[in-house]
Structure 1
Amino acid sequence: MKVLVPVKRVVDFNVKVRVKSDGSGVDIANVKMSMNPFDEIAVEEAVRLREAGVATEVIVVSAGVTQCQETLRTALAIGADRAILVETGDELQPLAVAKILKALIDKEQPQLVILGKQAIDDDANQTGQMLAALANLPQATFASKVTVADGKVQVTREIDGGLETLSLTLPAVITTDLRLNEPRYVTLPNIMKAKKKPLENIKPVDLGVDTTPRLKTLKIAEPAQRAAGVKVPDVATLVTKLKTEAKVL
């Protein structure tokens, strides 16, 4: 069974992002970049499936600038077998990424696609669902447990009311939640091995995909500062303020 895992290069989750002075976007100049944490979970799950003998090959793919090769090499160091970079300097919105992945599904014919549920830069949570729709594949989002057997994948997913278990016929699309697994620490020997693993470089035009943006960002701004709290001397004063000022009672 072949597993395809898309990964995205994002600003490291430990970095406090800064909005550009003109409000056109986030400043990523000289900022540490890393693999999207949810995608790292997806890579780990795919590698575990291969180690368990369920999957035979794990392919990681990224779309974006040349530096995305670093993210792919990290995925290869975790244990993926080979990588594909769809290189482009264009802004890639979720629909464009989903179309790129659909073209790669047609080319590679994976039995399972595992994506992070969302990227921590835009928090769109759209690509997996769009991909399933474009490829006409069954999907299970927010997976906290994945079991593959007998041509089906059983997915336990986290919903507002608790847990839901779905059984999907392969091929299928899954998006990962935080509690699915804990990604392994990447060791130096594996980093060195990753440098020798194959990494294919292609362009969106090679896949026949139009990446023209459909949405326009008008402005990006930091959230407003929270007002300072007020200390009250007693419960009676608190109740009065809740009634007259906050108007919640």
Structure 2
Amino acid sequence: QFDALTPHWWKLWQQSPSATPFQSPAWLVPWWHAFAPGELATVAVWRGGDLVGLAPLYLEHGTAGSKLLPVGISLSDYLDILAVPGIEAEVVGIISESIFSIGWAQWILSDLPQDSVALAMKHPEMDRPTAHAACPVLAIAGDETLAGCVPARRRRQLRRARQAASRCGRIALSSANGSPQTFLDQLIRLHNVRWAEHGGGVLANPAVEQFHRLSLPLLDAHGLVRCWLLAIDDRTIGAYYGFHHRGRAYAY
């Protein structure tokens, strides 16, 4: 049933003004397939045949009781509930009523953006929202020199870095959109080299790698991917893994 929501989910996601790539089925359905760390407890709100609200949640059972957690936790920059504009309050009310009828000891909603639909939830037993993790945002302004938003000192550092790279050989920056598996091969190779002396690293986990190999092609098919490879003399020495949606770039 979770997988079957996908076509309806995309329509809802496209309508939701607060949605990011991390609330899309291309991100969250593969996350569940790769990890499935508990029991699905997702709430879907329908109006006729239209999906108008979605809270992708699951229950994680432990000795201290069950925790209700968002699907996508730990690997997503943002988490949230989706709702059709104009009826958010009604949708959130229905979702709240359904969620409070489920047996759990603790419900955790983390990494909510400032315009999150989930922040509209009201219940006597809910704690007030608190600041959780910093997410720096840079508003791009001005021409291609970025003089309107990037400090002069930082731009000088970037020019020096580019000159130093040029002395090493011929620089080539290429888009890896359309070749997600090739991009991931290079990213994981670079990641392993970077972490060789320290051990571990997030991409050393086979389940995390599986998740990205499932998710990235789906995101790419919907035009949400911005992946770049940097090479010097045809040898890949850097990778940028990011997304783009509604005029905002996400440096993942």
Q: Same fold judged by TM-score > 0.5? A: no
TM-score by length of 1: 0.27
Flag the structure with higher strand content.
Answer: 1
TM-score (normalised: structure 2): 0.27
